[in-house]
Structure 1
Amino acid sequence: MVSALVVAVLGLGVGGCATGLGGETYSRGEVRRAMTVQYGTVEAVRPVKLEGTKTPVGPLAGAAVGGIAGSSVGQGRGAAIATVIGAVAGGLAGAAVEEGATRSQGVEVTVRLDNDKLMAIVQDDKGEGFRPGETVRVLRDGGTMRVAR
């Protein structure tokens, strides 16, 4: 029962960490900020993989589940050793599960700006389907950039 509850909390925590990084998704920090807009033509598009998040949620939840599972093995000193081993193994497994669950498909869009400079921007692939030869906008806000129609 406790293990199932911890796994459910882990799933919600990992799902809550996933954010949209596509051209149409803005973070709260980007709201009401001026952005520089440049126009250009898509030169190339290629699929890329975006690594998943690595927060303390996955390892901590995994360690809790592993520790609880390990504590039910044996008695006395054996149970204590199994608890530690279960917590370490659970923490490693939880980190791997979180990273894998939040990994996503991305796209690298190479754009030739109107000033003839080339830029490559990586963002989530939200099915926008950019095509070579298409005119797009490149929006820039300090350190973040995105390609949009």
Structure 2
Amino acid sequence: MMKQLATAFLVIFLTGCMTDTTGTTYSSGEARRIQQVSFGTISELQYVKIEGTEGAVGTIAGAAIGGIAGSTVGGGRGSDIAAVLGGVAGGVLGSMTEKELTGQQGIEMTIRLDSGSYISVVQEANSNAPLQMGDKVKILTQGNTTRVVRAY
């Protein structure tokens, strides 16, 4: 029961940390800034996996949960050892869980710009407005960030 509760907590906590990297989501720091705009047509699409993050959140949460769960095993010195081992195992599992939960379905787009040159952009696939081969798109670039959205 404790293990199931701990796993549920970790999943809820980590999914709250995920960010949206589709072409239609902006951070507050990106708002009200000039972007370079290009237009083109998608010539190739390939679905890819965008790796998740391996941050301290999953490791710390997993270690805490594993340590608490381990401390319930045995008594005395054995309980202390189980708590340490549970914490280490929980930290490793928490880190792996964070990476898996924050991974995203991505799409790699090869785009023929109206100028005739080609570019390739990878971003999170947007199930609400999926892009397809042949779509006219607008490419928005701001610093090192590029996003692709359907041109209307």
Q: Secondary structure at the match of 2:48?
A: strand
Q: Which residue of 2 aligns with 1:30?
A: 30
Q: How do 1:1-149 residues align onto structure 2 when only pairs under 5 Å count? A: 7=7, 9-127=9-127, 128-149=129-150
* Separation of aligned partners in 2, 1:109 and 1:75: 58
Same amino acid, percent of matched pairs: 46
Q: Which runs of 5+ in 1 are unaligned?
A: none
Using the TM superposition, give the Cα deviation of residue 10 of structure 1 relative to its aligned residue in structure 2, in angstroms: 2.8
Return the TM-score normalized by structure 1: 0.90
* Separation of aligned partners in 1, 2:40 and 2:48: 21
Using the TM superposition, give the Cα deviation of residue 98 of structure 1 relative to its aligned residue in structure 2, in angstroms: 1.4
1:79 partner letter: S
Using the TM superposition, give the Cα deviation of residue 3 of structure 1 relative to its aligned residue in structure 2, in angstroms: 6.7
Return the TM-score normalized by structure 2: 0.88
Q: Which runs of 5+ in 2 are unaligned?
A: none
Whether contact under 8 Å (1:3, 1:68) holds in the other structure is: no
Per-residue CA distance 1:63-119 (angstroms, 9 max, x = gap): 111111111112222122111110000111111111112222110111111222211
Using the TM superposition, give the Cα deviation of residue 25 of structure 1 relative to its aligned residue in structure 2, in angstroms: 0.9
Q: Across the two proteins, how many residue pairs are aligned to each other? A: 149
1:148 partner letter: V
